[in-house]
Structure 1
Amino acid sequence: MTVTMGIDIGTFEAKGALVDASTGRLLAQARRPHEMRVPRPGWAEHDAEADWWGAVTHLSQALLAQSGLGGRDVKALAVSAIGPCCLPVDRDGHPLRAGILYGVDTRAGAEIAELNARLGEERILSLAGTALNSQAVGPKILWIARQEPGNWARTVRLHTATSFVLERLTGAFAMDRYTAGSWAPLFDQTRGEWSDDLHGLCAPEQLPRLLWSAEIAGEVTAAAARATGLAPGTPVTTGTIDAAAEAVSVGVRRPGDTMVMMGSTVFVIQIARAPVRDPRLWAAPWLVPGRHAAMAGLATSGTLTQWLRGLLAPDLPREEAFAALSAEAEASPPGARGLVCLPYFSGERTPIHDPLARGVFFGLDLTHGRGDLMRAALEGIAAATRHIAETFAEAGSPVGRIMAVGGGTRNPVWLQATADMIGLPQELRRLTFGAAYGDAFLAARALDLAHEDDIDTWNPPVRQVAPHHRPVYDRHWAVFRQLYDRTADLMHETTRWANPSDQPGSSPGSASP
């Protein structure tokens, strides 16, 4: 039996999987929770030592202990993580501050505006294949240089979460091209390499070497072996962003294939025949040469249901509260009895890219109950996902097959509402363990133990969720689409009232590492 290991570091939890690479059988699985820190409105951070490296060491040891296998039994490791993140480290690889997270961190609004004005929005889109928004790393690098000059003066290398872990495991300084695609305006999508002109944001030697996700980037060092339980010399792949590994785990690989990941946020990845250049979407090379990806993501999804749980059922244990609210949401009819929710409770990413947008429950009356509120929230998330699907079509890359994955697939209202809103069936696979399983598959591919089509054997389709209530949701959709346009100016005004000194893009006088 040949065994591969996959580890994924998510926003609130890390997961690990040990897999028999000949069959795809899951041999062991483990989880480790952690927190996302929000030190100021619009900021989102992780502790790279505790949350990223700590997850890898803990889960590797837990998987080996659970399975009864030794470190030498693991033939390759692949790690994925949230991304794109921005972490400056010193000469010895020590983090100089907390890791700045992906698009949910909106601190660099002023830097986005400055770079757009200096470089030109069309030029950035043409070069990088994506517009500057909160997902882009370039403005966050500029933010660190401007607001934390002491940290910036000591910065020798710039990492995302996967490259930081890769360096700890192997000593290699490398990143996959899919992740690099989000480091606008530093990435040249036409060439698939860092741009010749880095626009004064950093030095070339501060950026990782670029590889493909399933390439072997290095081998586990003696120090990393002691920390993880793996054998020295174990091959480690370059790694990738968690959503991409999750897409791999459910068979997304052909043009038109689209993953809808229902988790803390909704993230959508579509495989495209050619680069998709639309300022409302994100674009990057796919995990293998010759293919492309178009991406989109909401800012608030599962985090909204978590917030509602605490608000509507504060005295119940977490699982019991979710069970009660889910049952009440199912009892509420499609359309939530006229209640419409804009799920912009942390601003919004694609396609409106508005960090000042805010959440709305519209149409409330005294007969609505908490089940209606929960259903409206789930339907609002589904409507925002439809907005993404329609944006793909408008960009010339319509959605084909939809593969649904993530914790939200266990919520029947969320799952059905998404199918109904988009108007296409969603395919579910046997395993929904997610990115860690996809990582184990990528590790097997790196050793030539699996072909990309073998994922259908590893994790076959088991059912489809077909649309049923399209007419109801078409009416709902019409209100949803108009509601933001009619209230956006008021959202912006009240957001500024609430946090006059903490707007995205505002800059504190000093910040601690």
Structure 2
Amino acid sequence: MLFLGIDVGTFETKGVLVDAEGEIVARARRRHGLSTPRPGCVEHDPEQDWWAGLCEISAELMHAAQGSRLGAVGVSAIGPCIVAVDEELAPLRAAILYGVDTRASAQIRTLNAALGEAEILRRSGNSLTSQSAGPKIAWLRDEEPEVWRRARWFMTSQSWLVARLTGEVTIDHGTAGYFHPLYDFDAGAWDVTGCEDFVEVGQLPRLGWASEVAGTVTRRAAEATGIPVGVPVIIGTTDSPAEAVGSGVVDEGDVMAMYGSSGYFIRVGDEPITHRELWAAPYVFDRSYVLAAGTSTTGTGTRWISDLLGITDPDDDVTFARLLDLAHESLPGARGVMALPHLAGERTPFQDPQSRAAFVGLGLQHTRADLARAMLEGIGHSAAEALLTFARANVQLSRVVAVGGATRNDIIMATVATVTGSPQHVVGSPGASYGDAFLAAHGIGEIPHRADAKGWGEATRVVAPDPRSFEQLRSDHQDFVALYRALAPLAARRAHRFLEVADV
């Protein structure tokens, strides 16, 4: 029996076929686009970027599975996103993406004033940030009322894909936990009190746990995807919890550090914990919880600096190898150059969508290598500051499991490990789709225990703190935080002025 896992990421969709022992039988991937129609807005086309990619990957993997029985399907995707759909599940506009989309700042202020920040924190276990889905629904009401009035459902990425596969409109508790302030963290239920002017409970998907079966593949979906009619499809979750499961992050105190297009860090626990600077949500299993942090720029920063320095190759692996080789021509500390990599604002702990990137300390003696190293170290400092937020919240981290493309970058990894003092246990995970396959097998009872996931994710190497650069990087990190605080007021003024000009 095989299990199909599919994950829709920011820039590509990946799929795997896996057996019950975790052995990968086949894999596939498809690139897709990303739209930034105006500052602060980041979108996907659900039909082209999500559904078409899922259909292509499913068809390819089903061809590879000929002669084998498919036990179940698991789907994950970026989130929380907002896709407004009609009664037939047709999207009414492009999907509004997760925390990298910062358009709803005004709605956050309005909701904070109307409900009270203390009440929002009590209900949601979280403060409102760009990662919150609720304000983005309010944005649709304010800015695109025609779309808002036509919406039958407000869904997220994987919930819409699962609905297209099964006809069932569902969402997992873990993703719903980011629909603040619409989800009651303690009760594990929707609560739209004070938000009835922009959403009704009946417009939100049915709640369940990630590995619960949402429904089975319909005939129409089977024709589009090649997946046999009647195969069970689990409710699924967002990409980061799915990747955590596939990396074996299931025990109390385990942390998954996902270094992808952005950075995401989730700490698993058996008890709910809330903190103003971190995101609290249920995990994928009943009576399990996460406390999470995120950064806005990781892989997007390496891509941007590669383009800027003119070293981009059609093969991404070649591009990033060139970038790393160039950065190694410099020294730890980048010979005095520091980069603030806030190309799309920043999330934990600053929660500042208006922050912007900067290089400081440049002199005539500096080279392209110094710029490359400064950006890579800046990405590392950004991730380290997010991880250090757990310590400030008095939350113990027992093991940090590092996954994602940037784990191949020894400068980023060494910076994070050295600044935080936490070794990075690098797992060569195939990605969130691998965790989706585990959850699918778990959901139909083929793999009965969640602890079995630990056998699926094994560390390939450990990046320990570097004593040779300890003093340099620890001192640099203090300057990194000070740089953000010094530039934040200027960035906010310039962002406001730029938006005024854009409006004209």
Normalising by the smaller structure, the TM-score range is over 0.9
* Contact 2:181-2:192 at 8 Å conserved across structures: no
* Contact 2:248-2:455 at 8 Å conserved across structures: no
CA-CA distance at 1:272 after TM superposition: 2.8
Deviation string 1:307-362 (CA, Å, 9 cap, x unpaired) is 11111015754544432221121232211112111111111111101111111111
- Matched residue, 2:471: 471
* 1:168 to 2:136 alignment: no
- Matched residue, 1:193: 189
- Matched residue, 1:264: 261
Distance 1:116 1:409, change over 3 A: same
Any residues of structure 2 matched to 1:226-245 within 5 Å, and which?
226-245=223-242
Any residues of structure 2 matched to 1:52-131 within 5 Å, and which?
52-65=50-63, 67-69=64-66, 73-131=69-127
Tell me, in whole angstroms, the C-alpha distance in 2 between the residues paired with 1:384 and 1:326.
18
* 1:207 to 2:196 alignment: no
One-letter amino acid of the structure 2 residue matched with residue 260 of structure 1 = A
Tell me, in whole angstroms, the C-alpha distance in 2 between the residues paired with 1:276 and 1:501.
43
Tell me, in whole angstroms, the C-alpha distance in 2 between the residues paired with 1:221 and 1:399.
43
- Matched residue, 1:403: 401
Match of 2:323 among 309, 314, 325: 325
* Stretches of structure 1 lacking an aligned partner (at least 5 in a row): 503-507
Match of 1:367 among 365, 368, 383: 365
Distance 1:258 1:501, change over 3 A: farther
CA-CA distance at 1:197 after TM superposition: 2.1
Tell me, in whole angstroms, the C-alpha distance in 2 between the residues paired with 1:128 and 1:498.
33
One-letter amino acid of the structure 2 residue matched with residue 191 of structure 1 = A
Tell me, in whole angstroms, the C-alpha distance in 2 between the residues paired with 1:302 and 1:441.
26
CA-CA distance at 1:462 after TM superposition: 2.8
* Contact 2:261-2:297 at 8 Å conserved across structures: yes
* Contact 1:272-1:397 at 8 Å conserved across structures: no
CA-CA distance at 1:251 after TM superposition: 1.0
- RMSD across aligned positions (CA): 1.6
Distance 1:388 1:254, change over 3 A: same
* Stretches of structure 2 lacking an aligned partner (at least 5 in a row): none
* 1:146 to 2:145 alignment: no
Deviation string 1:36-88 (CA, Å, 9 cap, x unpaired) is 100010001000111111121111011123x2525x72110000000000011
Match of 1:304 among 301, 319, 331: 301
Tell me, in whole angstroms, the C-alpha distance in 2 between the residues paired with 1:135 and 1:196.
18
Q: Which runs of 4+ in 1 moved over 6 A?
A: none
- Matched residue, 1:13: 12
Tell me, in whole angstroms, the C-alpha distance in 2 between the residues paired with 1:179 and 1:324.
37
* Contact 2:183-2:190 at 8 Å conserved across structures: yes
- Matched residue, 1:177: 173
> What is the aligned length?
499
- Matched residue, 1:444: 441
Match of 2:348 among 347, 350, 354: 350
Tell me, in whole angstroms, the C-alpha distance in 1 between the residues paired with 2:491 and 2:265.
26
SS of 1:116's partner is helix
CA-CA distance at 1:460 after TM superposition: 2.3
Tell me, in whole angstroms, the C-alpha distance in 2 between the residues paired with 1:455 and 1:208.
28
CA-CA distance at 1:457 after TM superposition: 2.4
SS of 2:328's partner is helix
Distance 1:289 1:68, change over 3 A: closer
Tell me, in whole angstroms, the C-alpha distance in 2 between the residues paired with 1:39 and 1:460.
41
* 1:27 to 2:29 alignment: no
With a CA cutoff of 8 Å and minimum separation of 6, indicate the structure with the bigger relative contact order.
1
Q: TM-score, normalised by structure 2?
A: 0.96
CA-CA distance at 1:449 after TM superposition: 1.8
- Matched residue, 1:494: 494
One-letter amino acid of the structure 2 residue matched with residue 453 of structure 1 = A
